Amino acid sequence: MTPLDLAGYLVAALMTAVALWRMPAALWGDEEDKRRRALWGCYAGFAAALWTKTRVVRTSLNNSPVVDLAVLIKHYTATVAILAILGYIVAIYGSYPDGGAVPRHVRFARVVQQVAAKASVATLVLLTVLFFTVVDRSAPSDRFVSDHAGQWGASLYMTVFYLYLGAASAVCAYQWALATANASLRHLRVGLGMMTAAMFIGVGYTVSRTLFLWISVVAEPTAGFARTFDKATEAAQVLLFALFAIGASVPAFGTGWRRVRLWRAQVALHPLWRELMAAFPDQPFAPPASLARELTRFGTPADLRVDRWAADIADAVEKLRHYVPDGLLPAAREAAGSAGPLADAYWIKAALAAKAAGGPAGAAADFDTRQATDQDGEVAWLVRVATAYRSIPEESARRLLA
């Protein structure tokens, strides 16, 4: 097995894995979610096409009673995938009010998608007719383009497919380049940038192969040059699909990473939040439960739960100010060695001890509330405080009250 053959199997497996990953949301998601269905259709179509290009599958199909059947199946499935990807481009733009202004690039994408839907049927019919009439299939081929170099029938057949594929690639490259420039989130820019690069490779792939085929009709190349050119462009296509599969998945990975961060934040904040809520039982909406129980309250989104815990902690700290002396803040900073999360953790632990001692509430003591620029910044700070809180012995905190 050559490295190119191995890469073909790997990229086919990658595209299949992504298609299977996306399938539940596409098949059982919201009926109005056309975007997910279109993207899944694209993945599934390209996955099927890529498997027909792998050595074992293409050899089996090409040596079947229908000679070179792998080529026809590959182009059928790829055409469906191309139509799906154009539908995906239209779907991501959403809908606009009737009579309202529609951006030019959105109008362009809609027109292209409508034309492509009609052209796809004509393309499939024409490919079928050409495949069974003008393509020389007297012997099975291994590399269709290089094996048929110099034959006008195969050149015409491939030109029809490459015209459809190249036009779609150019439209996708244009649309995604615009989207990349306007994307505000880094992971979205990265994903769109990879998809844009993939489509530019696709344009180069189709143009170079079309030129090669027709130049070969005029001046037939050597078998060695034709095979080298075929392998080089195939390697470029492997890179194309790898960039596309990974790039289209990056935004989903970004969402998954955010869920991981929220889960970690809940794990870190829960002990501190639970102790504070135990000190002020009337404050939370519901009595604090164990971490496992809190994490399995699926009716509450994780981001909402983290925001609520952050607000609960801030409110509890504000109440604790009425149970401690003014000298606690400098004492906590001295114990911590600086005015940071460890100092805040010392202050909170000592304040909880003072509250538990049963002293009466008095005037609010000094406490510097850290001003975060956004909610994520506040949560990140509280996570550091909560982490430091767990490392402080109870006696060390009580000594600050002496």
pLDDT tens-digit series, residues 202-216: 999 999 999 999 999
Q: Give pLDDT, residue 255.
A: 75
The mean-pLDDT minimum among 86-95, 223-232, 265-274 falls in 86-95
The mean pLDDT value for 230-235 works out to: 93
Q: Give pLDDT, residue 329.
A: 82
The identity of residue 169, as a single letter, is S
Helices and strands (H, E) in the chain, number of each type: 15, 0
81-91 pLDDT, tens digit each: 988 888 777 66
- Exposed e or buried b per residue across 143-156, where buried means at least 16 C-beta atoms within 10 angstroms of its C-beta: ebbbbbbebebbbb
Q: What is the DSSP letter of 46?
A: H
Whether the pLDDT of residue 369 is over 90: the answer is: no
CA torsion sign for 296, 301, 306, 308 is negative
The mean pLDDT value for 344-372 works out to: 79
Q: Give pLDDT, residue 191.
A: 87
The identity of residue 397, as a single letter, is A
Secondary structure (DSSP) of 246-299 = HHHHHHHHHHHHHHHHHHHHHHHHHHHHHHHHHHSTTSSSS----HHHHHT-TT
The mean pLDDT value for 110-121 works out to: 77
Whether the pLDDT of residue 222 is over 70: the answer is: yes
Q: Give pLDDT, residue 16.
A: 94
Question: Rounded CA gap, 7 and 21, in Å?
Answer: 21
Of 308, 304, 373, 378, nearest to 341 (Cα)? 378
19-74 pLDDT, tens digit each: 998 887 677 655 456 677 888 888 999 999 999 999 999 999 999 999 999 999 99
Whether the pLDDT of residue 119 is over 90: the answer is: no
- 393: phi > 0 → left, psi -120 to 50 → alpha, else beta; which? beta
By percentage, how much of the chain surpasses pLDDT 90?
Answer: 32
**Mean residue pLDDT across the chain:** 85
What is the number of residues in the chain? 402
Question: Rounded CA gap, 147 and 58, in Å?
Answer: 14
Domains for the chain: give ranges and CATH numbers: 3-250 (1.20.1070), 298-399 (no CATH)
By percentage, how much of the chain surpasses pLDDT 70?
Answer: 92
Question: Rounded CA gap, 361 and 322, in Å?
Answer: 5
Whether the pLDDT of residue 220 is over 70: the answer is: yes
What pLDDT band is residue 112 in, cutting at 50, 70 and 90? confident
The mean-pLDDT minimum among 22-31, 320-329, 377-386 falls in 22-31
